[in-house]
Chains A and B, each alone.
Chain A
Amino acid sequence: QSVLTQPPSASGTPGQRVTISCSGSSSNIGSDYVYWYQQLPGTAPKLLIYRNNQRPSGVPDRFSGSKSGTSASLAISGLRSEDEADYYCAAWDDSLGGWVFGGGTKLTVL
Chain B
Amino acid sequence: EVQLVESGGGLVQPGGSLRLSCAASGFTFSSHWMHWVRQAPGKGLLWVSRINSDGSTTNYADSVKGRFTISRDNAKNTLYLQMNSLRAEDTAVYYCARAVTGWIDYWGQGTLVTVSS
Contacts and interface: CB of A to CB of B under 8 A. Distances in A.
Interface string B84-117: 0000000000010000001111111110000000
* Count class of interface residues, chain B: 20 to 34
Contacts of A47: 103-106
Contacts of A98: 47, 50, 59-61
A46 B98 CA distance: 12
* Count class of interface residues, chain A: 20 to 34
B84 to A, nearest CB: 19
Contacts of B59: 97-98
Nearest to B107: A44
Contacts of B95: 44-45
Interface of B: 35, 37, 44-47, 50, 59-62, 95, 102-110
